[in-house]
Amino acid sequence: MIKPTVKYASQSRNEKVSLILSYILISIIALFWVIPILWIILSAFRKDVGIISPNFFPTEMGVENFRLLFTGTYYGVDYAFIRWMLNTLIVAVVDCVISTFLILSVAYCMSKLRFKLRKAFMNLTMIIGLFPGFMSMIAIYFLLKAIGLAGNNSSDTAWLNLLGLILAYSAGAGMGYQIAKGFFDVIPSSLVESAKLDGCTNFKIFWKIILPLSKPIIIYTALMSFTGPWMDFIFAKVIIGTGSPEMWTVSVGLYSLMFGAQADPSLFTQFAAGCVIVGIPIVSLFMALQNYYVEGVTAGAVKG
């Protein structure tokens, strides 16, 4: 009667040790993840300019870098950072609307409709999704260049670069339907069948029945669609190129402060301030919508 008790006590002790070691490992990983972010935030408030600082924690702090960033003239553009932020916001919002509609539409078709080659299409999109998006970057650039939506350096046509950027982000968005499809699979198909018996079209069912029941996945999809263009640099840099600076996105603009034709290492603290400003909308959105975000992800993972 004593041996099982000893055995269970030993198991409990091993579980506690394993849990403690797991927490220690996670804490170490989190520390390495937080340090660069903390360094950027501290650099944004640091008064001494330049990349190199003798102290990790600044001896003098202030908001001068933020003032200079918002009022500064870069590459001959007055209030350039504000212009870049507005350009990025326009691209992100337009792409968010288009991509969200496309993703949810494709997800509804894959979940509730039955047609030939449906399984083949799902398998194909799954395979294509395994490859990183930047593998198609050169092909996308030349396609957009051929129709005049990329590489425009003239101030009169530079706005077309932003249109090409929106097209690059949203054109293939429908292929990322898998999570939304998993969410729609949870919605009873009997609702769709009943609506069809009442004479509803597929679009009306999607718009009037499915979407009102899908608030979590709509918010999740919109959040992901907004975050991509807001944080992207690679596609923005390739498509916009060295075009008119007033049409740059914020990622291209901040990059140019440090590595562009008029790069200046003394602007690093303003660059850090820009990084902090760029991160605020994303962090705020995630904090405000985190309940819907988690619900959308978990519900979308129930069925595939």
Residue 145, token pair as written in the block: 């260049």
Q: pLDDT tens digits, residue range 217-248?
A: 898 899 989 998 998 898 899 898 877 889 99
Q: How confident is the model at residue 263 (pLDDT cuts 50, 70, 90)?
A: confident
pLDDT at 241: 80
Q: Is the pLDDT of residue 86 over 80?
A: yes
C-alpha–C-alpha distance, residues 294 and 1, integer Å: 46
DSSP at 291: H
pTM of the predicted model, to two decimals?
Answer: 0.85
Q: How far is CA 110 from the centre of its chain?
A: 24
- Answer yes or no: is pLDDT of 303 > 50: no
Domains parsed from the chain with CATH numbers:
2-63 (no CATH), 65-300 (1.10.3720.10)
Beta bridge mates, 74: 77
How far is residue 32's CA from residue 58's CA, in Å, rounded to a whole number? 20
